[in-house]
Amino acid sequence: MVIRRFRNSVLSLMAKVHELSREPYAHPEFAADIQFELIGRIKYVERRIRRWKARTATDETAWEAVEQYRRVLALFRMIGDCIAFLYIDRWDVKPLAYGHDPGFISGKKGLAQELKILRLASARKIPCLLADLTNVLRHGDLYAFSPERPPAILEIKSPLARKDQRTKRQVERLNNLTEFLTTDFSSKHYKRGNPTYRIGWSDSPTYHTGEARALLSEGIQTGLAVREVEPGLRYAVVRPHRLNHLDQIIHGMETPVASLLNDGALNLDCYAYYPLLLSIPDPENVFRLFTWEILFLVLVDIDRIRTFYEERNIGFEFHYDADDDYVVALTFPAGTTQLDSDLPVQVSRYFFGRICCEFLSFRNWLEQSVKTAEQWTLSRHKRMSSNSALHPISDSDG
């Protein structure tokens, strides 16, 4: 496995990120140093990808090497993601990740100018981050951070560059994004012409990161560790050769649905989640997940979800198809509440994924899904009465 060759450099960078996390605003120059090291690592991996892609015309097996190096590239960029999450609230990151895929930095026009600004900013004690060193920042070139306000997102252009239509579109997208992060409302960020707003949490969400860390350490030592962290939510850490103990893992769960944290850790669909490298501060243990030496399963009992909604007289349908954008459809039957509606409210698969990828409380997820559905339904009633065209999207990703 190619990723194992980069073990020492990955562990070293992860340790530096954890050191930076103690006081991220006190040491912007340290954040810049990590980025300069990342640039060298990423450029090397990009050269390997190009070299192997050049062989694919005559060697079909070269595609496997390309894919393995892409996973290494994703891992190095995830270290850049960690820097982003040190300065940006996790619930603000998803809008930033809604954009084009990051390209290669090697050979990029304008990189020298971006690095110059990064050096100048860090010298003036302003923490900055190059977007191309991350998976999650897909707007702008450089982010400048302040504890008092959303990040300043900069498009770095040469003074001699022409202001063409592409530049105008980039500026418009950044303005829409800044509006969304500042006001929780935008008329254009996600879907042009469909206004969206974000719905906040009633209370601070709960995360089971402590239980996850402890169980990972136990599972690495014993080969199999299982824990019921909440009714209907179970974590299991197992070595691959002990997967034949599946009965022990799912015992007592009526209708379990399992998610594999290893898969999510380096999966493109999970890049807007809080990085595993920050949730679990033990670089050695996390690296074992990336190399599949150990498996981390998160299991949810669908019967518990059904019971929760039925007790509140809410119609419920679970969608098992991974290709669906949503995982749960909720309805408020006519004659039961002021929210009378037979039209389903869809709760996104992305929001459901936070239970696995961020160790979000199962109970929190259930309660917030109801709140989001209620807000959505009430706004739909208002739309119908006012003939407006509002399409709410919540910060709980419902």
Q: Which residue has the higher pLDDT, 91 or 339?
A: 91
Backbone angles phi, psi at 314, to 5 degrees: -110, 125
DSSP 306-366: HHHHHHTT-EEEE---TTSSEEEEEEE-TTTSTT-EEEEEEEEHHHHHHHHHS-B-HHHHH
Residues 222 and 294: beta-carbon distance below 8 Å: no
For the beta sheet containing 256-260, the strands, ordered from the edge strand earlier in sequence to the opposite edge, are: 224-230, 233-238, 295-301, 256-260
pTM of the model: 0.86
Partnered with residue 257 across adjacent β-strands are 300
Query: How does residue 103 score in pLDDT terms, banded at 50, 70 and 90?
Result: confident
Q: Which residue has the higher pLDDT, 28 or 326?
A: 28
The domain spans of the chain are 2-157, 209-386
Query: How does residue 29 score in pLDDT terms, banded at 50, 70 and 90?
Result: very high
Least confident of 10-24, 39-53, 98-112: 98-112
**What local confidence, expressed as pLDDT, does residue 247 receive?**
86
**What local confidence, expressed as pLDDT, does residue 336 receive?**
47
Rounded alpha-carbon distances, angstroms, from residue 241 to 237, 244, 294 = 12, 7, 10
Q: Which residue has the higher pLDDT, 248 or 263?
A: 248
Residues 196 and 218: beta-carbon distance below 8 Å: no
Q: Which residue has the higher pLDDT, 197 or 243?
A: 243
Tell me how far apart the alpha carbons of residues 388 and 358 are, in angstroms, rounded to a whole number: 36
Residues 216 and 294: beta-carbon distance below 8 Å: yes
Least confident of 86-100, 134-148, 168-182: 168-182
Question: Span 57-75, mean pLDDT?
Answer: 92
Tell me how far apart the alpha carbons of residues 56 and 44 are, in angstroms, rounded to a whole number: 19
Amino acid at the residue 65: A
137 pLDDT higher than 60: yes
Average pLDDT, the chain: 84
> CB neighbours (10 Å) of residue 112?
9
Query: How does residue 104 score in pLDDT terms, banded at 50, 70 and 90?
Result: very high
Partnered with residue 9 across adjacent β-strands are none
